[in-house]
Amino acid sequence: MSRGPARRRMVPSYLAAQGGVTPTVFSLQPLTALRATGLPPGPAHTPGQQRLLDLLSGGALSVSETAAYLDLPVSMCRLLAAQLIDDGCLRAEVPLPDALAPDETAPRPSAGLLKEVLNGLLSLR
């Protein structure tokens, strides 16, 4: 059973930006986390930028994830996001998992605790 012909996009992806101004920040990497600031989109924002803001209203996503959800190339999402960052509607953050974040206040486990964990793991054999 075939799936039939693939559906084509009604609007080519390169028209999502609608010839907007050139952003001043264009250093977004595919893993850069984007987070909405809560500032509503302006009348000059394109429908693609509004869709991006709607998508990020629920929380942060990476540039690659937004491209997948919006069915746009990553380069187009970078352009849309850069323009929104310039306008103050989005904030870009370097992704850092919580597990890798240094916690200066966390106490280090004692040598006795580590020895008990090691003994417990060895007893599982």
pLDDT band at 47 (very low <50, low <70, confident <90, very high): confident
The answer on pLDDT for 54 being more than 90 is yes
* Helix-strand-coil split of the chain, %, nearest 5: 40, 10, 50
Q: Average pLDDT for residues 9-35, to the nearest whole number?
A: 70
Reported as a single tens digit per residue, the pLDDT across 58-88 is 889 999 999 999 988 888 889 889 889 988 9
Copy the structure tokens of residue 50. 């509004």
Reported as a single tens digit per residue, the pLDDT across 107-119 is 777 888 889 999 9
Sheet holding 90-93, edge to edge: 61-62, 33-36, 90-93
Put simply, whether the predicted model's pTM sits higher than 0.85 gets the answer: no
Distance CA 85, CA 125 (A): 53
Copy the structure tokens of residue 49. 């930028």
Give the length of the chain.
Answer: 125
- Shortest CA distance to 36 belongs to which of 20, 47, 49, 46? 49
CA 28 to the chain's CA centroid? 10
Q: Which residues contact 78 (CB under 8 A, 6 or more apart)?
A: 26, 28, 63
pLDDT band at 125 (very low <50, low <70, confident <90, very high): confident
